[in-house]
Amino acid sequence: MKKHNYSAGPCILPQEVFEKASQAVLNFNNSGLSILEISHRSKDFVAVMDEARALVLELLGLEGKGYQALFLQGGASMEFLRVPNNLLKINGKATYLDTGTWASAAIKEAKSFGETVIVASSKESNYTLIPTDYSIPSDADYFHCTSNNTIFGTQIKSFPVTNVPLVCDMSSDIFSRTLDFSKFDLIYAGAQKNMGPAGATLVVIKEEILGKTERNIPNILNYEQHIAKESMYNTPPVFAVYTSLLTLQWLKNKGGITAIEKENEAKAALLYAEIDRNPLFNGVVNTKDRSIMNATFTLKNTEHQETFDTMWKAAGISGLNGHRSVGGYRASMYNALPIESVQVLVDVMKELEKKFS
């Protein structure tokens, strides 16, 4: 039976990426060696790293605009502390928008480096909306936001205009929609949503914002060191970078971010229409703040849960349960999820309605 993978991450990737990656595990570039055993300093892998970094900038429209793309280790959570280490001046001030669990975790790390101001938070509403009524102090060293909230299912649709460096955690919606990425000074994202397997983190930085903190930054945490070493300061996550390259190539061949955005909007529209129409279900977050990547919803009557769970699992659906901290259901519709899988879920929801109407 075909599986319909709604996992929030690690998540679904294109089938052709799995096929090419599996071949590389056996024999990479006809070298007689596996991608898992080649030297990261070998000519073949250096070419992979160079192409992956260049393709990131190309897809984001940032070529020739003073940005560097890095593939690093430690997950997006490592960037929670790398960001203030590299951008928060001694006796300076960082500003954050609190929109969910991961934003809160980033704020916690920043507080250990200096003054950290939360300009707005949706915590009191259980993170079911994106705050809009806030201002960013002009003397801040940077402003940090999280573009998409995987756990709660909200997404920032309009980013603030500010004169301070704009930093964004795009872990769960990078490469999913068209934005003017040049408005951002630093973007980071764990690979395991729209790029590749867990183990690598993409960081895109405008070089001119670095080197201004007067901090003594440990080399492993210093973006300038990683730029100087072209993402090779220490041994990179070779397989994760290679698989990310395959996914970026797949995306480019599909027509880039503009093309995938249309598919993502169609998937989200199909599922949200059913959530809103079906009398057995409730959407969790404010309609205008709904994520096109992670749709969260609940059953109005929990007595239907056992039946619904049995039905969607029987249909080959995987990974639909909500995050353990909030419950309910979460349909993660990342780039590689086909609309056919969304239709299967919608059909199950309609069948449930027939059973209990």
Any idea which residues carry the catalytic annotation?
Answer: 102, 169, 193
Give the side-chain half-sphere CA count within 13 A for 234: 10
Distance CA 171, CA 314 (A): 31
Distance CA 333, CA 20 (A): 23
**Can you name the residues that pair with 155 across neighbouring β-strands?**
148
Distance CA 295, CA 291 (A): 6
DSSP state of 275: H
Identify the helix (H) or strand (E) that includes residue 85: helix 75-87
Amino acid present at 201: T
**Can you name the residues that pair with 95 across neighbouring β-strands?**
117, 143
Say what angle helices 238-254 and 256-277 make with each other, to 10 degrees.
Answer: 90
Contact 282, 300 (CB under 8 A): yes
